[in-house]
Structure 1
């Protein structure tokens, strides 16, 4: 049996993201090599659960701990900047931050954006647009 991934598996990125709304604004981050804003989070490493990956990513990207992790939903959309046919399966969780988030690791910028501000941005991630459509508190 081969260890090679099937072509379909190579076209799917499994990731987790933290959904944190405050005063109608969603916490988003932009990596130094990207133009789009995303949820804090990232790819799930082999052997990690979604919750373990979320805690690790929040600590790495925001420099704070995560208190709790409640599953919110799952989005399957095209992946931004990953080439044609690549999709992302984004598992979204809510939770409280243990401290004030600051950009860390590969994160160049942190922003609290409303749906209108995000959609007006020149580059948007389809998963975040879908999330806003489902959860926009305004």
Structure 2
């Protein structure tokens, strides 16, 4: 069982995955955050994307992709990510609040990507999770 339960947005454009980084941390991760008590994971994903990227997601265009578990970053713990996709555009996304970087990554391993996101990339590449925008 995971130590940390989060909801996150998986947004792929032109075969590249949108990731963010916060403050002084080196690695990039999915936009999202911890699920609060009594909050539905979809609502967490929508709230966190607004807080981190200043984008209002249309709930009707947010769809469940699946769950991924992996090493949390930077904590020494396991994170469970309830992953969602978005049919709309994130063209207006900007760094907001604690976010210090936004970047699109190829769907391959990189030393700049958080470990749980690498688990997601492996699942996407092996078709264990199917991203359908």
Among 89, 107, 120, the residue aligned to 2:80: 89
1:112 aligns with 2:101: no
- Partners of 1:47 and 1:64 lie apart in 2 by 23
Alignment partner, residue 74 of structure 1:
67
The whole-number CA distance in structure 2 between the counterparts of 1:128 and 1:23 is 18
* Equivalent residue, structure 1, for 2:117: 128
1:101 corresponds to 2:93: yes
Ranges in structure 1 where 5+ consecutive residues have no aligned partner: 1-7
How far off its partner does 1:124 sit? Answer: 3.0
Q: Please say if 1:28 is aligned against 2:19.
A: yes
CA distance in structure 1 between the partners assigned to 2:72 and 2:22 by the alignment: 15
Q: Secondary structure at the match of 2:57?
A: strand
Q: Say which structure is richer in strand.
A: 1
Alpha-carbon spacing, 1:44–1:97, altered in 2? closer, same or farther (3 Å): farther
Q: CA deviation at 1:130?
A: 1.5
Asked if 1 retains the 8 angstrom alpha-carbon contact of 2:51 and 2:97, the reply is yes
Segments of structure 2 that go 5 or more residues without pairing to the other structure are 126-130
| Secondary structure in 1 matching 2:104 | strand
1:86-131 CA-to-partner distances (Å, cap 9, x unmatched) read 1100010001246510010110000011023xx233x432221121
State the 4+ residue runs in structure 1 displaced beyond 4 angstroms.
none
Q: TM-score, normalized by length of structure 1?
A: 0.81
Q: Kindly indicate whether residue 50 of structure 2 is the aligned counterpart of residue 63 of structure 1.
A: no
Whole-angstrom distance in 2 between the partners of 1:106 and 1:94: 22
